[in-house]
Structure formats: structure tokens, C-alpha cells
């Protein structure tokens, strides 16, 4: 049998090495994973050129995955810092890293990133186009855009955000909607500007078959970007967002037909009471393709704390159908994140993902929580640190205050509820004062 992509192999009944690895990681039968890949509800981004990859599955019935954004900008050109962020993301267990570099020649950085990273790698070729081609936006042609997609595919990028859904029909809906924030997608805004300046159709939509042919050749996944995602609460679930989503559903089916795996990208900023309905709407319109969301951020007024607003929305989204969370750092809307921001963003996204996995009752999702509860019941601090999502921070906090009472923490000391209950259940007395009546 001949196949070039994971979805083609799955349709032929073949258990690829990547399918077997995902099954092992997910505590699922390999045949169950294969069926999900075959029908498109599971995607395994695994470019044939990414030799260091440890494959992960994204989709229904699997653990919620998280993505870490990083990359060079015109105002922050420290490649060593960005590589340190990569190493931190890998160490902390992020399953995906997106290189969003948009300045200069990024090929060398991306080459090192793909060579090093066991996490899947994503890009947005539109961001790289101006630097890669050394052309201004207005002078670019459809062929130019396709050249950048092909270059990223050849380098080993596992999935690419392609903003193919913002076609002429979607733009008409956007213009009618009278948005408060207009377009906040960087790639979407660039394509919108190019279309308006040239009068042409979106090249990724007009030449979609050519895009799919490139991705198919290297088994790269298309992540269909949501150019019209809401950038504030007031723009969520409007005609622009839903109109583009309808186009994305059409493009999803075309990609599957061409033997290309699909991720679908979603909002954005959104009030809590709209999230569940949006997840179900996406699954319906996009035929249960894996859903990748940025947040959603549940309020617009917390710059400096948007990792929290994102984690709240992400947990709700992933417990209602989203499969893949893009982390948001405290620096969102303010600056390129530093290492501390990246750490905080990863932890917030991991909390959201794990909380959703528990709510979705995935196999083994509560095991670590149960081990933590057992360690706390025994007041076994080393075991607690081992189970903590961020062991270094947990230990640092615990050890930051000298303790008068062994095994307790500085919050309760001798009055620790667990200590008190353990003593009573073991037949001991609970004593707080010495024989002279001195009480600590």
C-alpha cells in the first residue's frame, strides 16, 4: 500500500509508528486512534522531515494539548532568548511550539528549532513572507505566498496556519457587521490589506488546491486560521466570525479529500456564557475537526494577567469540545514575553488543559491528582513536589519561611487540619500547649 500522509495511512488500515506512539501516550487502543485519524476527528502533525519529533495526537477523546508561541520581531531580535524559551517549553511538557517570527531571515532559527524540538512545530507562513521574499506586501503575488508555504514544509514544519477562509464572501460579512475591533489576526489583517489593495481574491483560497498539494507532499497539517476571530468581547459570535467559519468548514472537507489533515482555529475573546455554544457550533460546521483556540479570553480589561483570563476560557472551551489550547502569557497585548512570562503562560494553559481532561473523564486524567491527595494526607512534602505541575516553584514557596513544626507549612503550623485529623484517627492527643501552659 502507498500513502504519504497519516490520514491516508489510517484510511488504508495502517497503524503507523506515529499512531502507535499516540495510542501509548493516550492510554487508548491503536485501532481507536487510527479510526479517529481516518475520519479526521484526530490529527497527528508529523512532517516527514521532522526527525526529532515525538508525535502527539490532537482531537476528540485525547488529552488537551497546549501550544507555546515564540519568535523574533522587529523590536526583539534575540535568537538565543527565543531558543531558551523553546528549551523551557520542552522541559515543561508543552506539546507544540509555534515559531511566529516576522523579522529578517528566519530560516536558520527555524532549522535549529526543528532539529532540536521533540514538540510539534507550527508556523504562520504569512508572517515570514515579507522577510523571506524581501518584497513589500503590495508587490507580492499568489505564487510568492505559495513559495513560502513550500519552504516551511520542506524545512519540517508540522502544521501551518493558513488563513484561507477570509475570502471575498467572508469580507463582505465582516464589513457589514460594524465591528468594534475590526481584524486582530496579524496574518488575517495582512491578507485583508493585500486583497483590498490589489482587488484580488485571497490567494490561499483561490489556489487552495496548490496549498494542499504542497502540504500533502510533506505530510504537513493545515491549521485553517480564523482571520475574523473576535479581538474583544463585543465582537464575538458576530456575522464575520460565523461567516468565515462556514467557509472553513468547506475548506476542511476539501483538505480531507486531498489526504491532508486539518486543525481548525477559533476565538479569541469571548464572554463565558458564549463559549460552550461556540465550541459546539464549530464542531457542527467543521465536521468535528480538531479545534484549536486562543484562550478564549473572558474579559478585555486584565492586561498583565491575561494568562488567567485565557486559562478560565480555555478550561471551559476544552471541556466543551476544544482540543488544543494556545497559551497566553501575562505579556499578551503588551510586549514580546520574556522567560518568566513564558513559564507563567505554560503553567496557566496546562492547568486549563488538565482541568478540562478531568471534566471530560479521560482515561487516567485524575491519577496525578489522586497521588497528590495521598501525599497531602500523609504530609509527604517531597511526594507533593513530585506531583506538582511546577515542582520548582512549589518547593521554593514551601522553603521560603522557616518552620517551627516539622511536616506542616507556615500557613497553619501545628493547627494543620490534616495533622490534627491524622493524630486523632491514630489514637493520639492533639496538644498545642506545653506543661507550663505556654502555647505556640
Residue 79 has pLDDT above 90, yes or no: no
Q: Which whole-number Å values give the CA distances from 146 to 58, 82, 162, 352, in the listed order?
A: 26, 27, 11, 36
Please check the confidence at residue 405 and state whether its pLDDT lies above 70: no
Within 93-235, residue ranges assigned H as helices are: 107-116, 125-133, 142-155, 168-177, 186-198, 203-206, 208-218
User: What's the confidence (pLDDT) of residue 128?
Assistant: 84
Asked if 353 contacts 316 with a C-beta cutoff of 8 angstroms, the reply is: no
Question: Do 37 and 261 meet the contact criterion of CB atoms below 8 Å apart?
Answer: yes
* Interatomic CA distance for residues 86 and 78, integer angstroms: 13
Q: Is 80 exposed, middle or buried (0-12, 13-18, 19+ CB in 10 A)?
A: exposed
62 is in an annotated binding site: no
In the prediction, which pLDDT does 432 show?
Answer: 82
Say whether 56 counts as a known binding-site residue.
no
* Residue 29 grid cell: 487502543
- Which range has highest mean pLDDT (64-78, 119-133, 166-180, 351-365)? 351-365
Looking at every residue in the chain, the average pLDDT score rounds to 94
Find all residues with CB under 8 Å of 250, minimum gap 6, and list them. Answer: none
C-alpha grid cell for residue 211? 496549498
User: What is residue 184's predicted lDDT score, i.e. its pLDDT?
Assistant: 96
Place of cell 501552659: 437
Residue 215 DSSP symbol: H
Confidence label for 12 from pLDDT (cuts 50, 70 and 90): very high
52 labeled binding residue: no
- The average pLDDT across 116-133 equals 90
The whole-angstrom separation of Cα 334 and Cα 428 is: 56
Strand boundaries in 230-378, DSSP class E: 262-266, 291-294, 324-326
pLDDT at residue 104, rounded to an integer? 62
| 73 appears as a binding residue in the annotation | no
The region of weakest confidence among 328-332, 365-369, 433-437 is 433-437
Pick from 222, 217, 171: which is nearest to 43 by CA?
Answer: 222
Q: Is 187 annotated as a binding residue?
A: yes
Nearest to 150 by CA among 133, 137, 167, 134: 133
Angle at 88 between CA 391 and CA 349, to 5 degrees: 70
Residue 226 has pLDDT above 70, yes or no: yes
Cα(248)–Cα(222) distance, integer angstroms: 11
Q: Is the pLDDT of residue 5 over 70?
A: yes
> Which of these, 74, 92, 89, lies nearest to 335 by C-alpha position?
74
Give 99's DSSP letter. E
- Quick one: pLDDT at residue 120? 98
* Yes or no: domain 6-359 corresponds to CATH 3.90.79.10: no
pLDDT tens for residues 13-38?
Answer: 999 999 999 999 999 999 999 999 99
User: pLDDT at residue 364 above 90?
Assistant: yes
**127 assigned to a ligand binding site:** yes
Q: Report the pLDDT value the prediction gives residue 44, as an integer from 0 to 100.
A: 98
The whole-number pLDDT of residue 49 equals: 98
- Whether 287 has a binding-site annotation, put simply, is no
- Has 163 been labeled as part of a binding site? yes
Locus of grid cell 505564487: 143
- The model carries a pTM of 0.94
396 is known to lie in a ligand binding site: no
> Does 245 show up as a binding residue in the annotation?
no
**CA nearest 222: which of 202, 203, 208?**
208
pLDDT of residue 395: 94
| Predicted pLDDT at 74 | 61
Q: Are 267 and 236 in contact (CB under 8 A)?
A: yes
Q: Which of 255-264, 300-309, 397-406 has the lowest mean pLDDT?
A: 397-406
Inform me whether the pLDDT recorded for 122 exceeds 80: yes
Integer Cα distance of 265 and 223 in angstroms: 7
Tell me if 326 sits within 8 A of 308, measured CB to CB. no
Q: What is the pLDDT of residue 1?
A: 65
Q: What percent of the chain has pLDDT over 70?
A: 97
Report phi then psi at 120, rounded to 5.
-65, 150
Separation CA 433–CA 218 (nearest Å) = 72
Strand 42-43 to strand 58-59: parallel, antiparallel, or no bridges (unpaired)? antiparallel
Q: Where are the domains of the chain?
A: 6-359, 367-400, 411-440
202 is annotated as contributing to ligand binding: no
Residue 107's pLDDT band, with cuts at 50, 70 and 90, is confident
Write out pLDDT tens, residues 308-343.
Answer: 999 999 999 999 999 999 999 999 999 999 999 999
Of the pLDDT bands very low, low, confident and very high (cuts 50, 70, 90), residue 102 is: confident
What is the SS3 assignment for 394?
Answer: helix
Torsion of CA 151, 155, 159, 163, to 10 degrees: -20
pLDDT at 76: 62
Please state, in angstroms and rounded to a whole number, the distance separating the CA atoms of residues 57 and 421.
Answer: 44
Residue 28 burial (CB count, 10 A): 18
Is 69 marked as binding a ligand?
A: yes
**Does 440 score more than 70 pLDDT?**
no
The per-residue pLDDT for range 343-362, each reduced to its tens digit, is 999 999 999 999 999 999 99
What's the grid cell of residue 181? 475591533
376 is in an annotated binding site: no
307 annotated as belonging to a binding site for a ligand: no
Amino acid at each position: 500500500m502507498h500513502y504519504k500522509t497519516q490520514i491516508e495511512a489510517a484510511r488504508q488500515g495502517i497503524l503507523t509508528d506515529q499512531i502507535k506512539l499516540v495510542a501509548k501516550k493516550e492510554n487508548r487502543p491503536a485501532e481507536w486512534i487510527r479510526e479517529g485519524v481516518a475520519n479526521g476527528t484526530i490529527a497527528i502533525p508529523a512532517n516527514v522531515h521532522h526527525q526529532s519529533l515525538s508525535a502527539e495526537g490532537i482531537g476528540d477523546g485525547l488529552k488537551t494539548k497546549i501550544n507555546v508561541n515564540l519568535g523574533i520581531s522587529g523590536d526583539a531580535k534575540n535568537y538565543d532568548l527565543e531558543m531558551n524559551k523553546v528549551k523551557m517549553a520542552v522541559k515543561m511538557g508543552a506539546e507544540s511550539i509555534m515559531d511566529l517570527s516576522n523579522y529578517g531571515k528566519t530560516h536558520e532559527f527555524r532549522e535549529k528549532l526543528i532539529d532540536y524540538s521533540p514538540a510539534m512545530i507550527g508556523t504562520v507562513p504569512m508572517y515570514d513572507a515579507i522577510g523571506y521574499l524581501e518584497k513589500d506586501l503590495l508587490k507580492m503575488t499568489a505564487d510568492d505566498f505559495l513559495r513560502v508555504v513550500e519552504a516551511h514544509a520542506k524545512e519540517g514544519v508540522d502544521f501551518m496556519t493558513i488563513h484561507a477562509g477570509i475570502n471575498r464572501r467572508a469580507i463582505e460579512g465582516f464589513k457589514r457587521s460594524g465591528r468594534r475591533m475590526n481584524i486582530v489576526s496579524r496574518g488575517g489583517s495582512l491578507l485583508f490589506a493585500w486583497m483590498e489593495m490589489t482587488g484580488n481574491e485571497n490567494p490561499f483560497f483561490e489556489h487552495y488546491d496548490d496549498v494542499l498539494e504542497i502540504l500533502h507532499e510533506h505530510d504537513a497539517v493545515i491549521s485553517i486560521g480564523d482571520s475574523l476571530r473576535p479581538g474583544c468581547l463585543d465582537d464575538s459570535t458576530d456575522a464575520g466570525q460565523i461567516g468565515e467559519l462556514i467557509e472553513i468548514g468547506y475548506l476542511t472537507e476539501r483538505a480531507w479529500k486531498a489526504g491532508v489533515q486539518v486543525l481548525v482555529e477559533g476565538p479569541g475573546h469571548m464572554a463565558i456564557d458564549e463559549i460552550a455554544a461556540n465550541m459546539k457550533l464549530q464542531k457542527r460546521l467543521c465536521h468535528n475537526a480538531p479545534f484549536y483556540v486562543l484562550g478564549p479570553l473572558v474579559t478585555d480589561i486584565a492586561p498583565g494577567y491575561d494568562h488567567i483570563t485565557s486559562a478560565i476560557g480555555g478550561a471551559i472551551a476544552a471541556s466543551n469540545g476544544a482540543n488544543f489550547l494556545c497559551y497566553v502569557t501575562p505579556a499578551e497585548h503588551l510586549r514580546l514575553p520574556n522567560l518568566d512570562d513564558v513559564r507563567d503562560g505554560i503553567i496557566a494553559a496546562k492547568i486549563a488543559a488538565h482541568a478540562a481532561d478531568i471534566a471530560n473523564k479521560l482515561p487516567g486524567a485524575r491519577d496525578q491528582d489522586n497521588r497528590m491527595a495521598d501525599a497531602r494526607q500523609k504530609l509527604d512534602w517531597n511526594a507533593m513536589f513530585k506531583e506538582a505541575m511546577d515542582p520548582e516553584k512549589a518547593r521554593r514557596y514551601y522553603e521560603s519561611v522557616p518552620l517551627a513544626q516539622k511536616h506542616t507549612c507556615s500557613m497553619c503550623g501545628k493547627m494543620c487540619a490534616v495533622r490534627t485529623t491524622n493524630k486523632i484517627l491514630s489514637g493520639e492527643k492533639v496538644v498545642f500547649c506545653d506543661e507550663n501552659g505556654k502555647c505556640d
